[in-house]
Amino acid sequence: MKGAISRRRNANSVPAGCGSAGQALVYLLGMLGALLAGVVVTFNATQLLARKQRLLNAADAAAFSVATWQARMLNSGAYVNRAIVANEAAIAQAVSLRSWLEYMQTATRNSGAITSAIPYVGQAMAALARLAGGINATAQPALGATEIVLSTSNQELALAQRAFLRLGALTTPDLARRALNVNEPTASWSAGGELALRRQQAQWQGFLVEDGGRRRERLKNVVGESLDEFTRARSYDVRPPLLGAVLRLRKRGGTELLGFDTWRGMDTAALHARPLFGGFRETIPLGWGSAENGRATLVRGWHDGSWAVNPRTSSLARAGTVARRQYLGLPSSLALRDRAAGSDPRLRTVLRAQLPRQSLEFWQEIWPGARLSTPGTSDADAEPSLLRDRILATSAAEVAFVRPIGRRDRQRERGSLFNPYWRARLASLTTGEQALLDGADAIAGARGASP
């Protein structure tokens, strides 16, 4: 009996642990589901952040491409200005040589007349005068032709500079779009980005100014500082032995740009004697010469003191000036617009790119209204992009004047279009630029949402 009861109990009993195993399986399935959901969310979030990073890289590439293009245009403009300055200095040298050759011809001729009674010396001076006259007759037309070629080249260089610097701004929107689409084909500019592109074009146009008319003074000063010593001043004094206290030879001469449209060189030499009372006075003109190219002018010029020291000889030189009228004047070129003292001229490019909604649909379903920020960026870069149904990426770049090596005089050099030291670099977004972009995008979003 006891054995039968025991067998019935054993038959109806449940194996130990079967209930707890079923419960663990349910928990395990729940955990696997949560883990799978976490993996999916993490994967999609990573994909979204990767797209955001690619978009940011594309925006950086576009902004840096625009800044690099503008830096190259500014450097090209600086090279053109330097070529213009070099050509103007060469024109001044040619005019100086023509003036000096005229002076040598008259000086040797007059010296030959003075020494004609001296055996051998008179004949030697006469031969030297004939040689100087032959060289002068040959060199005058050749140097004049050189002045014409250089002056014409300067006008063409200035015209080309104005054309490519003014029209170069028109290419920046297309350049920015190409750079963006090469790195992220589905991206486009947001409303704020389009506004920033138009604003950047206006900034470029306002960054430059044409130095024409009286404003050519800036280019004239640079040309004047670039002249060599022979062109700028050809002066010296000679004191004869034993007679230096009462007799001196004074040579004066120099070449300068009169106004903006005439180069003139003058060379004079005269004997100065000291009377019993008073200082040295111009007594005998010995040699003179003058050359000119450009518009006729009544301005006498300075010519390193020729008019002050040798006035009579200068009058002879002015009367016999070998004048040409083919010089076209100092050209009108582009320069940077004047700015407040202490401010560095800079060009900024700010761009904002966006990706369309279809790339965000899954992420919006699991986390609507999220803020998206890529690692390494500031809080200002965390746009509520998903709330506006798109990813946004903002980038800024600037063009600045940076000398690779400091000046020898240790002076600080401001940016100009005479030295090709313009460099492009990425920059941080300012608060004002951020507000401008956000405002434009908000207005565009409100219009798109309105019925």
Do the Cβ atoms of 284 and 107 come closer than 8 Å?
no
Residue 426 gets which letter from DSSP?
A: E
Looking at residue 302, what is its pLDDT? 94
Looking at residue 381, what is its pLDDT? 44
- Burial class of residue 130 in the structure, from the number of CB atoms within 10 Å of its CB (0-12 exposed, 13-18 middle, 19+ buried): middle
**Count of residues making up the chain:** 451
pLDDT, tens digit, 9 for 90 and up, residues 290-339? 999 999 999 999 999 999 999 999 999 999 999 999 999 999 988 888 76
Q: Which residues 6+ apart lie within 8 Å of 407 measured at CB?
A: 413
Do the Cβ atoms of 318 and 249 come closer than 8 Å?
no
How far apart are alpha carbons 107 and 287 in whole angstroms? 4
pLDDT 10s per residue in the chain (451 long)? 455 545 554 555 545 555 566 667 767 776 776 777 666 556 556 666 778 888 899 999 999 999 999 999 999 999 999 999 999 999 999 999 999 999 999 999 998 888 888 888 888 888 999 999 999 999 999 999 999 999 999 999 999 999 988 887 788 889 999 999 999 898 989 888 888 888 888 888 888 888 888 889 999 999 999 999 999 999 999 998 877 788 999 999 999 999 999 999 999 999 999 887 778 888 999 999 999 999 999 999 999 999 999 999 999 999 999 999 999 999 998 888 876 555 778 889 999 998 875 554 454 444 444 444 444 444 444 444 443 467 888 999 999 999 888 888 888 888 889 999 999 999 998 898 888 888 888 887 665 543 3
Do the Cβ atoms of 379 and 360 come closer than 8 Å?
no
Relative orientation angle of helices 191-207 and 431-449, to the nearest 10 degrees: 140
How far apart are alpha carbons 275 and 283 in whole angstroms? 10
Classified as helix, coil or strand, 232 is: helix
Q: Which residues 6+ apart lie within 8 Å of 241 measured at CB?
A: none
Classified as helix, coil or strand, 227 is: coil
pLDDT, tens digit, 9 for 90 and up, residues 125-173? 889 999 999 999 999 999 999 999 999 999 999 999 999 888 877 888 8
Q: How high does pLDDT run on average in the chain?
A: 83
Strands 333-336 and 322-324: unpaired
- What is the pTM (predicted TM-score) of this model? 0.81
Looking at residue 155, what is its pLDDT? 95
Q: How many CA atoms lie within 13 A of 330 on its CB side?
A: 29
- For 240-262, the DSSP string reads -TTTTTTEEEEEEEEEEEETTTE
How far apart are alpha carbons 449 and 451 in whole angstroms? 7
- For 157-195, the DSSP string reads HHHHHHHHHHHGGGGHHHHHHHHHHHH-TT-EE-HHHHH
Cα–Cα distances in angstroms (integers) from residue 7 to residues 15, 17, 268, 404, in the given order: 15, 21, 145, 101
Looking at residue 236, what is its pLDDT? 93
Sheet of 346-355, strand order: 188-189, 346-355, 391-401, 422-427
Exposure letters 234-265 (e unless 16+ CB within 10 A, then b): bbeeeeeeeeeeebbbbbbbbbbbbebbbbbb
Looking at residue 446, what is its pLDDT? 62
Q: What angle do CA 420, 424, 428 make, to 5 degrees?
A: 145
How is residue 258 written in tokens?
Answer: 């009169």
